[in-house]
A and B are shown apart, each in its own frame.
Chain A
């Protein structure tokens, strides 16, 4: 069954078909949530909630990009969570690391095929990116996560964000400029091949 057939079957109550859609999109949904929210646990909850909400409202899906429809549910859930966190800020009893970042060797980054040096570089790079992303406002962060991190085009990002194409373009440009300034501050922490001022890093 292709995606359209799976959606139609799921709309008629076929849970198995819906779960096949979940398996196709759970990686994308979780990664978007994880970049928008700071805590992995919150991202996990937001992803699960998004799939439950998608199942509940599947009948209201009227065609078009299912990916964009689903990611809109994910991002809306993340915005709700961010608003909740702002209203009731919480401090973890035991931060993952002394500066509140993720642990030095998080399980999700583990890759058996790479050397410890490569692994350390990836962790540093990820840390720097996440810290800079966290400094952006939610909508700027969403634009850059969808287009630059997940590789979506402007039209799809506009559908997810429910904003005109021009708005997405300008938010993305400003977000890139801000992120660039922020990442320059981490130049010393980044592995040499990832430094912005290093020719050929791109």
Chain B
């Protein structure tokens, strides 16, 4: 009863068959082939299998595969159009990335100055009026009608707060998503750039 050879032995036998073993490994294996019957049988089987495969008939080509001028022209055009598209996509993604980076810098730099100052002012406006009117009321007793804060001033303060709130939402949205957009665009620019390079250099 024969025992199966190990995968390592099989690999050695296969390499030995092709003359791809080192001289030392060859000497070792030849010694073992003399002494181990199962190994010698496995080698013989492998040798026959390879001989059988080498007898496999070669197919005749069904036609010529030479290129016509038309085929060659179309091949060149398809390469350059694919490469150009990817290059343009890469350039567009890079440009957008730069714009978003500039936008992000502007958003993160200016808000403290613009709406960081405007919002508290708007919020403080009605309170300042209240204080003014309270002082006025204390100083000029009997003149209750003049002490009431003018309604148009409240309306103006409300409008300013609303404007600032709207601005805050819009800018806040952009600021909070700018990082994701930047990462996405950087990724897109790199991928399309690599694809353009691959399209040009790798068949």
Q: Which residues of A does B touch, CB under 8 Å?
A: 15, 18-19, 22-23, 26-27, 29-31, 34, 40, 44, 47-48, 51-57, 60, 72-73, 76, 108-109, 122, 125-126, 129, 144, 147-149, 151, 153-154, 169-170, 172-174, 176-177, 179-180, 183, 194, 196, 201-202
Interchain residue pairs A-B with the least CB separation, the first 6:
A202-B51, A173-B14, A57-B203, A148-B53, A19-B66, A173-B11
B126-157 contacts to A (CB < 8 Å): none
Let me know if B51 and A177 touch, CB within 8 A.
no
Interface of A is mostly: helix
Let me know if A60 and B47 touch, CB within 8 A.
no
A-B Cβ contacts below 8 A, count: 133
| A201–B55 alpha-carbon span in the complex (Å) | 10
Let me know if A44 and B62 touch, CB within 8 A.
yes
* Interface size in chain B (residues, C-beta < 8 A): 42
Q: Interface centre among A51, A56, A57, by most B CB within 10 Å?
A: A56
Let me know if B10 and A174 touch, CB within 8 A.
yes
| A183–B202 alpha-carbon span in the complex (Å) | 38
Q: Which residues of A contact B79 (CB under 8 A)?
A: 56-57
Query: A52 is contacted by which of B57, B62, B63, B67 (Cβ under 8 Å)?
Result: B67
B29-65 contacts to A (CB < 8 Å): 45-65
Distance (Å) between the CB of B70 and the closest chain A CB? 11
Known contacts A122-B57, A154-B18; A173/B10 CB under 8 A: yes
Q: Which residues of B does A touch, CB under 8 Å?
A: 7, 10-11, 13-15, 18, 20, 45-67, 69, 71-72, 75-76, 78-79, 200-203
| A180–B52 alpha-carbon span in the complex (Å) | 10
Known contacts A31-B58, A108-B60, A196-B49; A176/B14 CB under 8 A: yes
Task: List 19 interface pairs A-B (beta carbons < 8 Å), by A numbering.
Answer: A26-B66, A30-B61, A34-B59, A51-B65, A54-B203, A55-B72, A56-B79, A57-B79, A73-B203, A108-B62, A109-B59, A154-B18, A169-B14, A172-B14, A173-B10, A173-B13, A176-B46, A176-B49, A196-B49
Chain A's closest residue to B9 (CB) is A173
Query: B200 is contacted by which of A31, A60, A122 (Cβ under 8 Å)?
Result: A60
| A66–B46 alpha-carbon span in the complex (Å) | 31
Known contacts A60-B200, A169-B14; A126/B57 CB under 8 A: yes
Let me know if B50 and A148 touch, CB within 8 A.
yes
Let me know if A151 and B54 touch, CB within 8 A.
yes
Q: Which residues of B contact A27 (CB under 8 A)?
A: 58, 60-61
Known contacts A154-B20, A176-B46, A202-B51; A129/B64 CB under 8 A: no
